[in-house]
Amino acid sequence: MANYEKEINRRRTFAIISHPDAGKTTLTEKFLLYGGAINLAGSVKGKATARHAVSDWMEIEKERGISVTSSVLQFEYDGFCINILDTPGHQDFSEDTYRTLMAADSAVMVIDASKGVEAQTRKLFKVCVMRKIPIFTFINKLDRDANDTFELLDEIEKELGIATCPVNWPIGSGKRFQGVYDRDRQCIITYSDTEKGTKEGEIAEISTADTKALEAAIGEEAAGILKDEVELLDGASAEFDLEKVQAGELTPVFFGSALTNFGVEFFLRHFLTMTTTPLPRRADAGLISPTDNDFSAFVFKIQANMNKAHRDRIAFMRICSGKYEASMEVKHVQGGKVMRLSQPQQIMASERKILEEAYAGDIIGVFDPGIFAIGDTLCMPKEQFCYEGIPTFAPEHFARVRQLDTMKRKQFVKGITQIAQEGAIQIFQEFNTGMEEIIVGVVGVLQFDVLKYRLENEYNVEIRLEPLPYEHIRWIENKDVNLDKLVGTSDMKKIRDLKGNPLLLFINAWSVGMTLDRNEGLILSEFGRD
């Protein structure tokens, strides 16, 4: 048994997912508050002088009050070492979220109690199901008027196709929100508003068996409604089954208000006992156990210019097995080189701490001189295996990039290439012109704004984006195709990706089929190849 097994088993690594504005970033901050990582929670939205959420470190995030890039946050709580991956909620940044989910062992799904299951929640949930990772649900904003509680559960079950098991139950909502009922201990926990961003608040527990005390605390009417709802709940809801939870077939549901701190610590305590230790990861050599194997990791994110003073690139790695120790030699499998990881750091949003050691389940940031790519594997020099790849998604919006000052060509090429390597955008070249004509493709149009903003603020380069009408992209799988002789449609455009692979852009979906019909043996794919 490895001597680091105890350290690995106290790790919990999870992602927080939600539709925009469901309160995900606020919930993340409250976790940090309870873990003692911060003393005062910042408001995500507010005036320019107001505090900003710790996990929103990019300038554009502070200006707009939205998360546009995943953050990694680590803190200690009650003997556990917790790694939170806070993801962007906005659908235009969903690709970043998909990649981040590859590094998580479980997911916390935050749902707005007044809105229920929203479009982005469905999309992200499907990725969790695809990966079979456990999902925990926090129904938030009970301090505001909410939808009927049974209807919320019914919606989760029907929309997402997963059974629900409420762990607690709300007593009213909005101005009538008085607390929650703890199903396991059969008592109510009364609500005390702590909106000031601190964790102190008065909490009282009253057994539901003590009818007089219950009615005195929440009123006769609310007590009667609660009794009826609990009876209905006990008869209708799925029973708690940890095996089903960990198989991703049952989601424990919690109710609370992240803004006012109510129910946050209750959720955190229960969640930590239900979620798993770091899980084995699939590689081409089979399943790699976190505790039985030496150090290995994979890159799931690359971020340039996190530190304006250094203009550096950080590769985020999920450690999948064993222990990392400072100055140890590791093998970069795709590069075929043995190397020492430069300045491995624990990242707390934009703040960093140099690490001497890290374990399976931890996320570390490593200085990247331009050698890593998303999906790369690192392992011990004597090992040779690759973790399963991270899917890339076909862009849905395209624009031609015009550089306004041609004297800044070098900065422009460097900036757009680095941002593309992070995976936020994909860049393509006109078929015969090389880097002279650059076309950028994105999953969501808001990425265009981020590209423009970052080139201007981080690389001092101004650009103009000219939208293109293409909506469908296909990679050509045949290695021997002569693009000059390809018979296409009038709305088709030939381009290449940065690796020189040929691609086709189409305005209309039916043009894809027509091009296949006109070129016998042609194979087109919606996904790129390495």
Q: What angle do CA 524, 526, 530 make, to 5 degrees?
A: 90
pLDDT, residue 308, reads: 57
- Tens digits of per-residue pLDDT, 237-261? 889 999 999 998 999 999 999 888 8
Residue 137 · residue 254 · CB < 8 Å: yes
Clarify whether residues 519 and 372 are in a common domain. Answer: no
Name which of 227-231, 383-387, 448-452, 488-492 the model is least confident about. 448-452
pLDDT, residue 434, reads: 59
Clarify whether residues 223 and 141 are in a common domain. Answer: yes
Q: Is residue 291 part of a domain?
A: yes
Clarify whether residues 349 and 479 are in a common domain. Answer: no
Last residue of a domain, one of 253, 274, 295: 274
**Which of residues 20 and 37 earns the better pLDDT score?**
20
Clarify whether residues 450 and 344 are in a common domain. Answer: no
Last residue of a domain, one of 232, 248, 274: 274
Q: Is residue 485 part of a domain?
A: yes
For position 235, which CATH number holds?
A: 3.40.50.300
Clarify whether residues 176 and 312 are in a common domain. Answer: no
Q: Pairing state of beta strands 135-140 and 106-112?
A: parallel
State pTM to two decimals: 0.75
Band of residue 126 on the pLDDT scale cut at 50, 70, 90: confident
pLDDT, residue 54, reads: 47
Q: Is residue 57 part of a domain?
A: yes
Average pLDDT over residues 175-186: 90
d(CA 2, CA 327): 20
- Tens digits of per-residue pLDDT, 68-123? 344 677 888 999 999 888 765 444 445 666 777 888 999 999 999 998 887 767 77
Of residues 21, 13, 222, the one with CA closest to residue 140: 21
Q: Is residue 446 part of a domain?
A: yes
Band of residue 165 on the pLDDT scale cut at 50, 70, 90: very high
Instruction: Give, as one character, the DSSP assignment of residue 344.
Output: -
pLDDT, residue 203, reads: 67
pLDDT, residue 134, reads: 93
Report the SS3 class of residue 154. helix
pLDDT surpasses 50 at 61: no
For position 299, which CATH number holds?
A: 2.40.30.10
The amino acid at residue 93 is F
Q: What are phi and psi of 502, to 5 degrees?
A: -80, 140
pLDDT surpasses 50 at 46: no
The amino acid at residue 343 is Q
Clarify whether residues 195 and 289 are in a common domain. Answer: no
Q: Is residue 77 part of a domain?
A: no
Clarify whether residues 142 and 262 are in a common domain. Answer: yes
Of residues 136, 25, 54, the one with CA closest to residue 347: 54
Band of residue 10 on the pLDDT scale cut at 50, 70, 90: very high
Last residue of a domain, one of 351, 379, 407: 379
Q: What angle do CA 379, 337, 349 make, to 5 degrees?
A: 60
Q: Is residue 80 part of a domain?
A: no
Q: Is residue 79 part of a domain?
A: no
Clarify whether residues 14 and 140 are in a common domain. Answer: yes
Average pLDDT over residues 316-322: 93
pLDDT surpasses 90 at 406: no
d(CA 268, CA 168): 13
Average pLDDT over residues 473-481: 86
The amino acid at residue 484 is D
Q: Which residue has the tokens 């009050």?
A: 65
Alpha helices in 161-284 (DSSP H): 211-218, 220-236, 242-246, 264-274
Segment holding 416, helix H or strand E: helix 409-421
State the CB neighbour count (10 A cutoff) for residue 189: 21
Query: DSSP for 172-205?
Result: --GGG--EEEETTTTEEEE----TTS-S-----E
Clarify whether residues 455 and 473 are in a common domain. Answer: yes
d(CA 446, CA 118): 19
Band of residue 1 on the pLDDT scale cut at 50, 70, 90: very low
Domain housing 342: 281-379
State the CB neighbour count (10 A cutoff) for residue 425: 22
Clarify whether residues 267 and 130 are in a common domain. Answer: yes
End-to-end CA, the chain: 37
Instruction: Kindly compute the dihedral angle of the four CA atoms of residues 141, 255, 177, 19, in this order, to the nearest 10 degrees.
Output: 20
Average pLDDT over residues 164-174: 93
Average pLDDT over residues 413-431: 82
Clarify whether residues 206 and 353 are in a common domain. Answer: no
User: Which neighbouring-strand residues pair with 377?
Assistant: 298
**Which positions ≥6 away from 120 have C-beta within 8 Å?**
18, 19, 20, 89, 90, 91, 94
**Which positions ≥6 away from 243 have C-beta within 8 Å?**
none
Q: What are phi and psi of 503, to 5 degrees?
A: -135, 165
**Which positions ≥6 away from 223 have C-beta within 8 Å?**
211, 214, 215
Q: Is residue 181 part of a domain?
A: yes
Structure-block tokens of residue 431:
């078929």
For position 452, which CATH number holds?
A: 3.30.70.3280
d(CA 475, CA 266): 49
d(CA 8, CA 486): 54
Residue 374 · residue 99 · CB < 8 Å: yes
Residue 262 · residue 140 · CB < 8 Å: no
**Which positions ≥6 away from 489 have C-beta within 8 Å?**
506, 508, 511, 514, 515
Structure-block tokens of residue 107:
């997911």
Domain count, the chain: 3
Clarify whether residues 250 and 298 are in a common domain. Answer: no
Q: Give all strands of the β-sheet with 351-354 in edge-to-edge order.
A: 337-340, 329-332, 377-379, 296-304, 313-321, 363-367, 345-348, 351-354
pLDDT, residue 302, reads: 79
Average pLDDT over residues 453-471: 90
